[in-house]
Structure 1
Amino acid sequence: MTSDDSPNAPVRTVRADVRRNRARLIAAAREMFQRDGAGASLEGVARLAGVGIGTLYRHFPTRQDLLEALLADAYGELAERARELAESPSPGDALLEWLRAFVSGITAFPGMAAAAVVSLGGERGEASRPLREAAAVLFDRAGESGAVPPGTALGDVLRLAGGIATVTERDPEAADRLLSLAAAGMIPGAAAAPR
């Protein structure tokens, strides 16, 4: 146990101005990224938030860190949806329904899906942990029911859905068609895309 882990270690609180700056940066990034995509100017984000670029980089050392902060809300909603679907009497259909929600949830602005693929594919995405855990329960149930072929990995399914989201982020109908096509190969008897 390190001295910082001891029960008597002082509790560190985040100053109110630091919390406000972080919240303003996230709000500004959300606004700019929805308008200009994930490649929007970080200097512009800082300016819109009313802080200097150094403040932005103290909170978010990389663009991916800022994108992951924006993804955190979407991940929370998707984790909750996975938990809701986990007890469905049709695990394969529930997984497909969740994958549709996943594709929709990570395409709020251009470039968000690509950031999600990076976040979900590596160890750096702490914000995605609850999503991955909730999705794993849904995925495991689908696998146990025989709705997912043996040897299929959740990470591969998430990458596939993320890839579909990336190439169709401005065309939800195409995303649904491609996801249905992919599911037909993965989930025997998967429901066709709604028309």
Structure 2
Amino acid sequence: MTSDDSPKAPARALRADVRRNRARLIGAARETFGRDGADASLEGVARLAGVGIGTLYRHFPTRQDLLEALLADAYGELAAKARELMLSPSPGDGLLEWLRAFVSGVTAFRGMAAAAVVSLRDDRPEAARAVREAGGALFARAQEAGDVPRDAVFIDALRLAGAIAMVTEDDPEAAERLLSLAATGLARGKAAAR
């Protein structure tokens, strides 16, 4: 029997104390990053959670891993929003509404947008994959309706929204202006492609 043929052991449930520590770390990170940004001290996060720094690193080996845990809720909401907007009577307006929700969802604290851009280009986080798939379906629907140029690709629209989020974290009005400007560019590209 090769190692590939051996039966897989069932995944063990996390011990209650491990689950509690993880939840406390996420709560402490949400509070600390919300106040001080994504570059805040990880030692401070661990201290606020009431655990040692080693415990933090056992749960989250890198700062990006911790940020992705915080992004998971936002990603879940964004995936659900994209599925909801698939029913929008105007596919292009639905896509723009989703991109607005994306920018808003990844700017809960300073530095979160940069973490989102990294996680969305890396296929590792399951939640990020769900956002790419649901948003991609919304984008494809807008393309099929002729609201987005045929040669445009979803990952570029997502990168553009991520860049807008990064440069407007503290200025939601600027985010709206930039998204509107980007949408105007998409509409012009659509007209030129005809």
TM tier relative to shorter chain: over 0.9
How many corresponding residue pairs? 187
Contiguous gaps of at least 5 residues in structure 2: none
Please give the per-residue CA displacement for 1:166-192, whole angstroms capped at 9, x wherever unaligned: 0001000000000100111113599xx
Residue 6 of structure 2 corresponds to which residue in structure 1?
A: 3
Q: Distance in 1 between matches of 2:168 and 2:10?
A: 49
Residue 81 of structure 1 corresponds to which residue in structure 2?
A: 81
The within-5 A match list for 1:27-176 is: 27-176=27-176
Q: Distance in 1 between matches of 2:188 and 2:135?
A: 19
Q: Percent identity?
A: 74
Q: Is 1:181 matched up with 2:184?
A: no
Give 1:87 shift: 1.4
Q: Distance in 1 between matches of 2:84 and 2:72?
A: 18
Please give the per-residue CA displacement for 1:97-132, whole angstroms capped at 9, x wherever unaligned: 110111011000000001000011122333211111
Q: Distance in 2 between matches of 1:90 and 1:2?
A: 51
Q: Quick one: structure 1 residues 161 and 11, their matched pair in 2 at CA, closer, same or farther if it must change by over 3 Å? A: closer
The aligned amino acid for 1:76 is G
CA contact (8 A) 1:38 1:109 kept: yes
Structure 1 residue ranges, 4+ long, deviating more than 3 angstroms after superposition:
187-190
Q: Quick one: structure 1 residues 179 and 58, their matched pair in 2 at CA, closer, same or farther if it must change by over 3 Å? A: same
CA contact (8 A) 1:95 1:139 kept: yes
The aligned amino acid for 1:156 is D
Q: Given the two structures, how large is their TM-score scaled by the length of structure 2?
A: 0.92
